[in-house]
Amino acid sequence: MAILLDTGIVYAYYDKRDAWHVRATNVMRADAGRLIVPAPVIPEVDHLLGERLGAPAQLAFYDGLAEGHYFVADLPRDRYGRISELNRQFHELALGFVDAAVVAIGEALGLFRIATTDRRDFEPLASALSLTLLP
């Protein structure tokens, strides 16, 4: 079964110094061929890699996208309203666009396994929406 990747897990995979690196690597290897990066996650990962690790890490990420290590899931137009709903429903979390988009894309695809380092936002979502968080 495919899994959706949130920004933090993708970043941790590329940053060997990140506290989540080993867990991120384990998820990426265990689910190789079934890794889905929601399109809204890509600019966040790109920014973090560029700011913290530099161009070589960004290029490695781009290569992973180009070589099919990840499938990219676009955000369907009809899911933008769901992003607003999630931000209203969970206003105390201040989810923002990307975290809500990960959930909205997952719902659209019928995927409820999300690999994330962001337990603050995703644990309450997991409880309310029957999501499975990895690792």
Beta-sheet pairing, 3-5 with 132-134:
unpaired
What pLDDT digit, counting tens, does each position of 30-84 carry? 999 999 999 999 999 999 999 999 999 999 999 999 999 999 999 999 999 999 9
Structural domains in the chain? 3-134 (3.40.50.1010)
pLDDT at 123: 97
Q: For the chain, how big is the Rg over CA atoms in Å?
A: 14
Cβ atoms 18, 134 nearer than 8 A: no
What is the distance between the alpha carbons of residues 30 and 134, in angstroms, rounded to a whole number? 11
Indicate the Cα dihedral angle 51, 38, 99, 52, nearest 10°.
-10
